[in-house]
Structure 1
Amino acid sequence: MALRRLLTTLLLASLAPLAAADRVHHHELDNGLTVLVQEDHRGGVVASMLWYHVGSGHEHRPITGISHAVEHMMFKGTETRETGEFARQIAREGGQTNAFTARDFTGYFQLLAADRLELAMELEADRMHQLVFDPEEFQREMQVIHEERRQRVDDPPEARAFERFTATAHMASPYRHPIIGWQRDLDRLRLEELEAWYQRWYTPSNATLVVVGAVEPERVFELAERHFGEVPAREAEPQPEGREIDAAPGERRIEVRFDDARVPMLFLGYNVPSLATAADPGDAYALLLAAELLDGGRSARLPEALVRGSGVATSASAGYSPVARLDTLFSLVARPADDQDLDDLESALREQIHRLQEEPVADSELERAMTRLFAAEVYARDAPMGRAQRLGRLASTGIGWEEAQRFEERVRAVSPEAIQRAAETYLQPERLTVGRLLPGEED
């Protein structure tokens, strides 16, 4: 007990200097672009991330995968620069650049020496409103995307099973669509649809620029005004509804069997609110700590009870992210041991959920879970890129970047009773989807 208190004290001491440096400087351009700046002068680098508040969670059939396709086209030419020039200029300055598409956002980032920040802003502002949609480049990138889907989704049986499970778990939510898009939609996606999507969502008022590193806030705002201020203002599209039509539609089950699967796998997913959709933010943090109790390291409940204890599973994990624009899932994933079947494994997982509902967690166990979350927070905030990601995700999901500064307070406010209440409310069979992956029948 004394050792644990000492570790907690040391951890909070390490949080203190970061908290002092966590001030976020905020500025909004006349065209609607939001600029967030955090100073971090421990190194001479800067992370510049431009977040567009659009992703696969804004899509519908038959244009699923369109946000990811636009991300690919953003590395092609603009009206003033030829294809590939963006990446070449960043590389010449010794920097790194890349992008990613998620459910709620599409992000573009550069990691550079701090005195090269203006180059990143100049290039990003250019492609924000002057992107060229070349038919030949489009065909080449669609071939790349087809191959990407084949490698990431179509080939691994676990990924194919998870894709079907997700589509079942999200009954009325666009989260049911894969980020890369359904294959049939990719086959018919047209260049003019990409250009219309770009014109619709790639506007200053639907974007957040996050800059973290060895910079002065006023200088960043000056550069943002100089380069992004010239981008024409366009009214942003309203964000789609964030709640499931029915958050408790009844238990659903899906079973898939693939010949190339070698090991069974079990998925459980409960429809739960995110920080953006929860009536009480405390519910989201209680669910976050419930997931940490189940799967927060070697001593957590799932590995302790199911892997090393009963031996019913070779692996078992739980996950919940409160940072989402729409209702989301509280998920459990497990593989049975060789001599166990999926029925026994499912019963064991459900028993752990039942335990959360019936038994208030001990203060000492809750303290360990909180300490692990704080440790992960310290690690994530240690580098400029981690801080920029944290602010960008919160801003892009409608939760608000201010929530980053409430993290410790929110976590510490969660009581054993709050976790028990959240489990009783949200981790119910009528909110559950069960997915089973089975190997092909042996000859």
Structure 2
Amino acid sequence: MLQKFRLALRCLMILGVTFGTISESLSQEASFRWEPLTVEKLSNGLTVIVKENHSAPLVVSDIWFGVGSRNETSENNGVAHFLEHTLFKGTKNRGVGQIAKDIESFGGRTNAATSLDYTHYYILCESAYISNALEIQADVFHNSTLLGEVIDSERPVILEEIKRGEDDPHKMLWNTLMTNMYSNLPYKRTIIGPRENISTKISREEMLQFFRTWYGPNNMTIVIVGDINAKVVIEKVKSLFGDLSPSPLPDQSFGAEPELKAIRIVRKEMDVKNEYLLMAFRTVTPKQEEDLIGLDLLGAILGEGRTSRLSASLKENRGLVTQVSANHLTLIDDGLFLIKAEFDPIDETEVLEGIREEIR
């Protein structure tokens, strides 16, 4: 496995300030039933995935779109995340703030996230209210108003988020990595976007155009998991979302990313106590599925949990790090194998050597 991993690596970057991950383990006693998935594609291209899980009277409806910062340009970088902030603020049927009140009225919880390759929006609630949740989501994706005053009210919110990120070593490490790792692929740009785009460049018209382009049903997947009947829920989805019209998706082919010929080491000074390290190896794209399985397994062996090789060696046995982890990140156009660590700066040499020993 390690030999195969070495052959897959195309470059290495080491950054000295971490992008942390949280590893959760489920006890062996935890009840989990392997209920079958129900997958159906509607005539308008929308994909519905339903998994029944009757262990608790809860359900989540999570709507995914195949769009993220990857689909932006330098001129509108940040628009995907900006849109995520504003989309649920109001519709033709619900005024500003009413969506949140309606979800709270049946004890639901909602959130959303934008990534490099995707954006998703979910509502978690008691399973008895799944129809309410789906009706709200359908209202948003049919009737969101994206009012100019609402958009403008979110600008300072996102600008403050940018400021907080600049003070966060984890986010700064990640952004520094991606900026230096890529020169051609759009992953070189941040998800949140630059200040000037958020302040003035991204207009309501820009946001509406982005929505019309990327939020069609043919770029949409609804995932519903919980204490529900799959057939009943799918029929509900059809009635609420089946009339959405598909739209042609732009070609998003990018030229090949130049191969890095040597190790790049990037250091960034911040006013923090510890040193944060991120090693990134370029690997493979999702087309090489067999390699992805091996890389995911390797990530678990090297850096998942206290008994993983990196944690056992550097943290449990030698006490050199406060945290260390490893995982493989699969992107649409590339892949990255990541090793992260946090430690006292005086231990840098030993930590680097310890990591090298485990991946040789």
TM-score range (shorter-chain normalised) is 0.7 to 0.9
Change (3 A) 1:265 1:111: closer
Which one of the candidate residues 321, 326, 329 is aligned to 1:318?
A: 326
**AA in 2 matched with 1:277:** K
Which one of the candidate residues 171, 175, 178 is aligned to 1:159?
A: 171
2:278 matches 1:267 = yes
In the aligned structure 1, how far is the partner of 2:55 from the partner of 2:312? Answer: 40
Deviations 1:404-438 (A, max 9, x none): xxxxxxxxxxxxxxxxxxxxxxxxxxxxxxxxxxx
Change (3 A) 1:185 1:277: farther
In the aligned structure 1, how far is the partner of 2:169 from the partner of 2:224? Answer: 39
| 1:338 CA drift (Å) | 5.5
Aligned residue pairs: how many?
333
Deviations 1:265-302 (A, max 9, x none): 3221101124x232xx2211211222222212222222
Which one of the candidate residues 336, 343, 347 is aligned to 1:329?
A: 336
2:111 matches 1:110 = no
| 1:248 CA drift (Å) | 4.4
In the aligned structure 1, how far is the partner of 2:266 from the partner of 2:314? Answer: 23
Partner residue, 2:309 = 301
| 1:108 CA drift (Å) | 1.0
**AA in 1 matched with 2:311:** P
For 1:260-409, what aligned pairs fall within 5 Å after superposition?
260-274=271-285, 276-278=286-288, 281-322=289-330, 324-337=331-344, 339-340=346-347, 342-354=348-360
**AA in 2 matched with 1:352:** E
In the aligned structure 2, how far is the partner of 1:88 from the partner of 1:34? Answer: 28
| 1:249 CA drift (Å) | 4.4
2:25 matches 1:18 = no
Q: Specify every segment of 5 or more residues in structure 2 that has no aligned partner in the other structure, as ranges.
A: 1-26
In the aligned structure 1, how far is the partner of 2:224 from the partner of 2:168? Answer: 37
Change (3 A) 1:309 1:96: closer
| 1:240 CA drift (Å) | 4.0
Which one of the candidate residues 259, 263, 280 is aligned to 1:251?
A: 263
| 1:59 CA drift (Å) | 2.0
2:140 matches 1:127 = yes
Q: Which has the higher contact order (CA 8 A, sep 6+)?
A: 2
| 1:139 CA drift (Å) | 0.9
Which one of the candidate residues 62, 68, 73 is aligned to 2:75?
A: 62
Q: Which has the larger share of helix?
A: 1
In the aligned structure 2, how far is the partner of 1:163 from the partner of 1:247? Answer: 20
Partner residue, 1:147 = 160
In the aligned structure 2, how far is the partner of 1:41 from the partner of 1:263? Answer: 45
Secondary structure, aligned partner of 2:107: coil
In the aligned structure 2, how far is the partner of 1:265 from the partner of 1:217? Answer: 45
RMSD: 2.4
CA contact (8 A) 1:78 1:130 kept: yes
TM-score norm. by structure 1 comes to 0.69
| 1:321 CA drift (Å) | 3.2
Change (3 A) 1:72 1:339: closer
| 1:93 CA drift (Å) | 1.4
Segments of 4+ moved more than 6 angstroms: none
Secondary structure, aligned partner of 1:94: coil
Q: Specify every segment of 5 or more residues in structure 1 that has no aligned partner in the other structure, as ranges.
A: 1-9, 355-443
Partner residue, 2:48 = 35
Percent same amino acid among aligned pairs? 28
In the aligned structure 2, how far is the partner of 1:313 from the partner of 1:77? Answer: 47
In the aligned structure 2, how far is the partner of 1:161 from the partner of 1:100? Answer: 20
Change (3 A) 1:27 1:315: closer
